[in-house]
A and B are shown apart, each in its own frame.
Chain A
Amino acid sequence: MLEIILVSTLNGVLYGMLLFLMASGLTVIFSMMGVLNLAHASFYMLGAFFGFEISRRLGFWPALIIAPVLVGLIGMAVERYGLRRVHKHGHVAELLFTFGLTFVITEMVEMFWGKLPVDYRVPPSLDFAAFTVFSVNYPAFRLFVLLISVAIFIALLLTIKRTRIGLIVQAALTHPGMVGMLGHNVDRIFMLVFGVGVGLAAIAGVIAGPILITQSNMAALLGPILFVVVVVGGLGSLGGALVASLLIGLVQTFAVAFNVSLADLFGTSQLSAVLEVWLADIWRVTIAQIAPIMPYILLVLVLIFRPRGLMGTRDT
């Protein structure tokens, strides 16, 4: 049991940090531009596929740099020639634009790489067991991913606290709507922020690709959870995004470890015989089975009890 707890904690934090890598960009973009980028997970997917394609030609390390830059540039182009045009039609149009983008990116990826998973491998230099506890090997690459996402988190924190752009981002987080009054280069800042935001998602894609899966449905699998993270954390709150990312990462990982069902809880009694008939399907479903829908249950609960999210301060 101890080994499950240890491994689950490590994996949960890892997954949570990956989620946060994406959620941070999403949050900053939302705060500054008022648009929730529904295609954010698609850029994560692009990162993974670019990472795969580049690393099989040039190696993993160049891919770690080149892929996010490429995706960031694509993101900037999307902002410059797409989002900015749509902006005048309002937020719904912007949301729909990014929604359409998810379709197009998914279809493009399927057009080039197909629907089956691609063979994106852990780089050989990191393909060993970092340590072994209770005869479980913990792969070095996972440790690397954990470290790199923490490193990026710290870098992000420093950028926001110490630089001019960071000040603007901070202003945007606390006073959305004020950013428009910052002067003539606001368009360039938007473009940059969008580029960096999706670039962060792409980094997550490059490093998560080898351990999770690199496949055309990866955006569709992760996207909804990502949005759960930002809504549960509170739209526009970076701190909330961090807490929610880790929470969901841990909840999902730990839920798998529990095979408890309603049937187990009630044991064998008169009551449980009645309940079994009435609850039928739900009766024997274990927590492990519903692990993937836990985030959505969490979402609904948070909305009922704290409609603005864990650390949110504002509506919509």
Chain B
Amino acid sequence: MRTFIGSAALALAMLGSTALSAMAQETIKIGYVDPLSGGGASIGQIGLNQLNFIADEVNARGGINGKQVQIVGYDNQTNPQISLVQVQKAIDEGIQVIVQGNGSSVAVAVSDFITKYNERNPGENIVHLNYAAIDPVLTNEKCSYWHFTWDASADIKMEALTNFMKDKEDIKKVYLISQDYSFGHAVAGAAKRMLNEKRPDIEIVGDEYHPLVRITDFAPYVAKIRASGADTVITGNWGQDLALLIKAAGETGLDVDWYTFYAGGAGAPTAIKQANLENKVFQINEGINNLGYGPAEERAGAYMERFSSAPVYFPRVFNMMDMVFKAMEEAGSEDPGDFIPKLVEMKHDSFAKGEEGFMRADDHQFFQPLYIAALGELGEGEKFDEEHTGWGWKLAATVPTEDTLLPTTCEMERP
């Protein structure tokens, strides 16, 4: 029992070193709460790199409102509970802007926490900037005044994708395969609804859900797709679930068109090249490299030079930080309570091609032009390939901002 006293002493010693709080106001501190430890770092680090890159750009031209910008990383281990403690840590260190993206589970937890925090601590304003979590609940049932998102939600992307597909006469039979969790269901549900509305003649020959990040061999699924006679596959898969699916399709010679959300990373381009699916895999997102837009190429080029071995980047992070800094400058304040009104309804020329997008006040979703691209041999003037495959993303269609608008059920409570 004596060890009780020992453990209490230990706790005291540890907490002593925890209780640092610096309230330096010389800099604008932005907290980045994403996985930064272990292997998760390879994903979370990309966002941190990009934020640092943008902060250095801003600092080089004198900072924001005369203050330097500093990015502080917090490792959340993709765990919602740890995330909340890390957010608390950031707040205690005087941070008011929290950037987070990986994992809808984390995003919902963080958004919920920050909303309650602001409500329970009147006078304190914390904002959650979300660059990657796209579960539609974030901008519908669980929307918040303190949460902004720059990635198009699953519904928006599907709206744009089906608008593109509806004009393709040769699509007759569509197979849906998605990961068995909320996002996968959101994707497949939207696809069914929208295709049914826009192209009732298309037959949905398969509606498959597979467990999330657990399948190591997609051969049985590919066999099913083949047996269904589908000519087109729509999938919300990301990461290894997409790379492996395409790999298995290539191995067994399945010949269909693929419509995807995330064919840009984690080995997917490599798998596409290996399977020799030239111009058969489509991806929709807010920007690709080969759009021939000068400012973007310049900025992306500088970024890639600095982080040469990790060239992946998110155009939306540029959109996000550019807009937030603009709002801070317009408001002349770094307090979210002051700059949020400027951010709401802000119009912004998007990073990828300089076409206009806007932040919608109803749900704090950024609407922007979306680009549908297919992976294939690079053509004239197309400089950027993916994963050193020699193949790059080539524009197939542009979806203007107005074609991406969707209603929201958000009933936002504003302070």
Contact = CB atoms under 8 A, between A and B. Distances in A.
Q: Do A and B interact directly, with beta carbons closer than 8 Å?
A: yes
Interface of A: 1, 3-4, 7-8, 11, 15, 107, 109-111, 114-117, 119, 121, 129, 135-139, 211-213, 215-218, 221-222, 253, 256-257, 259, 286, 288-289, 291-292
Contacts of A8: 220, 223
20 contacts: A7-B219, A8-B220, A11-B217, A15-B217, A111-B38, A114-B39, A114-B41, A117-B267, A136-B223, A136-B226, A213-B216, A213-B240, A217-B213, A218-B216, A253-B220, A257-B220, A289-B180, A292-B211, A292-B214, A292-B215
B51 interface: no
A110 B39 contact: yes
Interface in B245-287: 251-253, 266-267, 270, 274
Contacts of B244: 213
Contacts of B239: 116
A289 B290 CA distance: 38
Contacts of A110: 38-39
Given A213-B216, A289-B209, 19 more contacts: A4-B220, A4-B227, A7-B223, A8-B223, A11-B219, A15-B217, A114-B39, A115-B42, A116-B240, A117-B266, A121-B274, A129-B253, A135-B253, A212-B216, A221-B214, A222-B216, A257-B224, A288-B208, A292-B215
B14 to A, nearest CB: 22
Contact of A137 (B43, B208, B224, B252): B252
A138 B217 contact: no
A3 B223 contact: yes
B217 A4 contact: no
B38 A115 contact: yes
Contacts of B224: 4, 256-257
Contacts of B39: 109-110, 114-116, 216
B220 A7 contact: yes
Interface in B66-124: none
Contacts of B215: 292
B303 interface: no
Most buried by B among A3, A114, A256: A256
A3 B210 contact: no
Contacts of A221: 214, 216
Given A138-B252, A139-B252, A256-B220, A116 B42 contact: yes
Nearest to B40: A115
Contacts of A4: 220, 223-224, 227
A42 to B, nearest CB: 14
A185 B155 CA distance: 67
Interface in B189-229: 208-211, 213-217, 219-221, 223-224, 226-227
Nearest to A129: B253
Contacts of A215: 240
Q: 6 tightest A-B contacts by CB?
A: A115-B39, A110-B39, A212-B216, A114-B42, A256-B220, A137-B253
B243 interface: yes
Contacts of B253: 129, 135-137
A183 B243 CA distance: 53
Nearest to A258: B224
A110 B40 CA distance: 9
B227 A1 contact: yes
B27 to A, nearest CB: 31
Contacts of B226: 3, 135-136
Contacts of A129: 253
A100 B253 CA distance: 42
Contacts of A1: 227
A222 B214 CA distance: 9
A201 B105 CA distance: 35
Nearest to B219: A11
B38 A291 contact: no
B270 to A, nearest CB: 5
A114 B36 CA distance: 12
A4 B239 CA distance: 26
Contacts of A109: 39
Nearest to A15: B217
Nearest to B39: A115
B217 A212 contact: yes
B220 to A, nearest CB: 4
Most buried by A among B42, B214, B223, B267: B223
Given A116-B267, A119-B270, A107 B38 contact: yes
Contacts of A121: 274
Nearest to A137: B253
B233 to A, nearest CB: 16
Contacts of B42: 114-116
B210 A288 contact: yes
Contacts of B227: 1, 3-4
Contacts of A11: 217, 219-220
A1 B209 CA distance: 20
Contacts of A115: 38-43
A213 B240 CA distance: 8
Most buried by A among B43, B180, B220: B220
Contact of A117 (B214, B220, B221, B243): B243
A203 B412 CA distance: 57
A62 B254 CA distance: 32
B276 to A, nearest CB: 12
B221 A256 contact: yes
Nearest to A5: B223
Contacts of B208: 259, 288
A3 B219 CA distance: 12
B225 to A, nearest CB: 11
Contacts of A3: 223, 226-227
Most buried by B among A3, A213, A217: A213
A26 B159 CA distance: 51
